[in-house]
Amino acid sequence: MVNGIADFFQNLFGPIVNILGGVLLYFHQTLGAPWWLSIVMLTVIVRSLLFPLTVKQVRSMRAMQDLKPQMDRVRAQFRDNPQRQREEMAKVYQEQGVNPLGGCLPIVVQMPVFIGIFYVIRKFGGTPGRTMPEYDSFTHGGILWFQDLAHADPYYILPIISAVTMLASTEITSKNVDPQQRWLMRLLPVGFTAFLLNFPAGLFMYWITSNLVTLVQNYVIYNYGPGRKTAGGSKNTDSGKKVASATARGRQDRNSSVPTDEDSEEDAAQRAAKIAKRKRRKKKK
């Protein structure tokens, strides 16, 4: 049954498998790169193409952080009315031009590529005990201790490197989130690597390279791009400026339309003085 499910998804992702497999063949057969280097080159190209989406993801995350004070006020104001709360939150997102799902786009796009790479390796290197390798050279196209890219790393060194590089790439972004989310992001590499522990070494070549590219991209984005903080600690995003402007206007409107305690006391004193003056006039008459 497991093999049947695997075949179903292989057919489902057939177009992606064919494209990725064609690129790997081009690197290996035309350019003469070994299989492991072909996987690395493919990964760098894929992550470079996804870089604009990564930048968009960071901008969306920054905008969500800037909107958090407004979201907290909406939640507190409509705590007993969940439907109205959702409507008001959607209105704030629309007014500020923020898509709450914008941060998920790179992950959604990258998952089919990850699955496609898995099936390319499964196709080129074969499935132990079930299918023969399509390219015999793929089974010894690795490097160092992992020569067979179609089988798992016998020493589990690649899974450990994968976890470490993934943790390093997420550590840069975790500094800008809540402490609870930070620990969740730190535990994610461990759980993810444990799930992939017995996957082919070729898949770890893709994943480790992807983590290293992500590490470099995150460093650039969070130090020189839209993810960096200004000297005052404020977020350098257009959405943040919009929120600050809207908040300032809201405070002005409230200050001009809602009377303060001092104004109320002054009005009461004036009314009391007028009443006392009228009483003195009546006594004189």
In terms of pLDDT, which residue wins out, 244 or 195?
Answer: 195
CB 96 within 8 A of CB 242: yes
In terms of pLDDT, which residue wins out, 72 or 21?
Answer: 21
**Distance of alpha carbon 260 from alpha carbon 248, whole angstroms:** 18
Residue 255 has pLDDT above 60, yes or no: no
Token pair of 92 as six digits: 């704030």
Give residue 236's pLDDT: 39
Give residue 284's pLDDT: 58
Give residue 241's pLDDT: 46
Residue 157 has pLDDT above 60, yes or no: yes
Question: pTM of the entire structure?
Answer: 0.70
In terms of pLDDT, which residue wins out, 120 or 109?
Answer: 120
Residue 41 has pLDDT above 90, yes or no: yes
Give residue 177's pLDDT: 65
Give residue 65's pLDDT: 74
CB count in 10 Å sphere of residue 256: 7
Q: Among positive and negative, which fits the CA dihedral 51, 57, 60, 66?
A: negative
Out of 16-30, 61-75, 183-197, give the one with best mean pLDDT.
16-30
What confidence category does residue 25 fall into, taking pLDDT thresholds of 50, 70 and 90?
very high
| Averaged confidence pLDDT in the chain | 77
CB 169 within 8 A of CB 214: yes
Mean pLDDT for the stretch of residues 149-166:
90
Q: By percentage, how much of the chain surpasses pLDDT 90?
A: 19
Report which residue type is found at 201: A
Mean pLDDT for the stretch of residues 106-117:
80
pLDDT in tens, 176-205: 666 667 777 778 888 888 888 888 999 999
What does DSSP assign to residue 137? G
Give residue 238's pLDDT: 46
Residues 6 or more apart whose Cβ sits within 8 Å of residue 214: 47, 54, 169
Give residue 42's pLDDT: 93
**Distance of alpha carbon 152 from alpha carbon 148, whole angstroms:** 8
Helix, strand or coil for residue 89? helix
pLDDT in tens, 92-104: 888 877 777 666 6
What confidence category does residue 84 fall into, taking pLDDT thresholds of 50, 70 and 90?
confident
**Distance of alpha carbon 262 from alpha carbon 60, whole angstroms:** 42
CA dihedral 60, 63, 68, 73 (to 10 degrees): -120
